[in-house]
Structure 1
Amino acid sequence: MRVKVKIVCRQCGERYVLRGKKERGKIETGFKQCLCNNQSQFDIEEDPF
């Protein structure tokens, strides 16, 4: 199932809006890290298309 994902970095506040796949309760977007090199501290919100 395709979902729209909103990601906000907790360190610098940068926002990203991506499309991803939701399979077995896990979302995969390919997003790895923020521009500030943060790799783990994010607020993630999903919206179905």
Structure 2
Amino acid sequence: MRVKVTIRCNLCGEKFILRGKREKGRIETGFKQCLCDNREHFAVEEQAE
């Protein structure tokens, strides 16, 4: 199932809007880290497409 994902960095506030795939209860977008090198502290919001 395809979903639209909004990822906001909790450190710098940068916002990313991506498409992802829901598999086994997880969302896979390929997103690794923010521009500020943050790899862990994000607010993730999903919307069905």
Which of the five TM-score ranges fits, normalised by the shorter chain? over 0.9
TM-score, normalised to structure 1, is: 0.98
Count of residues in Structure 1 that have an aligned counterpart in Structure 2: 49
The alignment-based identity, stated in percent, is 61
**Gap regions ≥5 residues in structure 2:** none
Q: CA RMSD in A?
A: 0.3
Gaps of 5+ in 1: none
Could you list the runs of 4 or more consecutive aligned residues of structure 1 that deviate by over 6 angstroms after TM superposition? none
Residues 6-42 of structure 1: CA deviation (Å, up to 9, x unaligned): 0000000000000000011100000000000000000
AA aligned opposite 1:16: F
